[in-house]
Structure formats: structure tokens, C-alpha cells
Amino acid sequence: MLDLGAAPGSWTQFSASRVGPRGLVVAVDLTPMSAHAENVVAYTGDFYDGEVLRSIASHGPYNVLLSDAAPATTGNRSLDTTRSAAIAEHALYLCGELLHEGGHLVVKIFQGGEEQALVKEFRRLFQTGRLFKPKACRAESFETYLIGLGYRRPESQTPESVD
């Protein structure tokens, strides 16, 4: 399991408990994290960076990619939602290099209009693609999650090495 934008680490800890002692959780974030379990490998860095991608790819491919990453907010909702969508698009792009066929992707996104185009892309690349707003999210929050279950690698795409 790969956790993108993992700090402060609650999803990483939960995932480590779910995969058990034989599983592995790889976590990456700009903010340093300590590995809280023997089955966690934590990297400090930017998952847009080629060196960081090579490091996390060395542990893959993964059955699950999780991204709870969010951009540093500016207070400009349009800008914040656009930056959030860019993170979601990058996580979706990484599926081609890091996710097993049949794997799953969960990514946080700020609602602002771009999520519908991403849902369409999720539905193209996964057996199931949808938006989900957990009950734990505050009603006024514009955070929601895109969920893709059952990754289907496009015919024209084969896994490539991360450059």
C-alpha cells in the first residue's frame, strides 16, 4: 500500500494495522514522518520528484494507492480547488507506473467543478469510479474523495520505469 501525502500519519498507521506484519505500507510526504510500525517505510520528499518516485517504485507495484494530500491553501477557493485537482490527476497518472492491475485508488479532492471530469476518468480506468464524502467530514467542508476500484490498465499503456 502506498500513502501519498502521508503526514501526520494516521492513514499510514491505520493501513499498517490492516496489511498486517507480512504487508508493507510505504508513506511519502514533504513533512518528515517517523515509521510507527515495522511494516512501514517512510520517505520525506515530493512525490512529483523523480528520485522520490524511484524510491517508492522500488517497493511496488502496489495494491492500493491512497492520497490524502492537499495543497497549501491560499483562501482563494478557485486556486485551491485547481491545485487539489492537480494532485488528484498526478495520483491517477501514477497508477500506470505503481498500481497493480485490479488495484485501488483513493484520493482526496476539493470540490470546485473539476471533480466531475476526474470521476469520468476514474470510470474509464477503474471498474468502479465515484465520489464519496464520508460522514466524518464537516458539512461545510469542500473535501471529498475520489474512489477507483479495480484498476484496468489501458491497452496502450504498459508499466514504464519511473524517470
Query: What residues are annotated to the active site?
Result: 108
C-alpha cell at 160: 514504464
Residue with cell 510507527: 36
Angle of helix 50-57 versus helix 77-98 axis, rounded to 10: 50
What is the spatial distance between Cα 158 and Cα 22, in angstroms, rounded to a whole number? 28
Q: Could you give the 3-state DSSP secondary structure of residue 93?
A: helix
Residue 48, beta-bridge partner list: none
Name the strands in the sheet holding 126-132, side by side, starting at the edge strand that comes first in the sequence.
Answer: 40-44, 25-29, 2-4, 62-67, 99-110, 143-151, 126-132
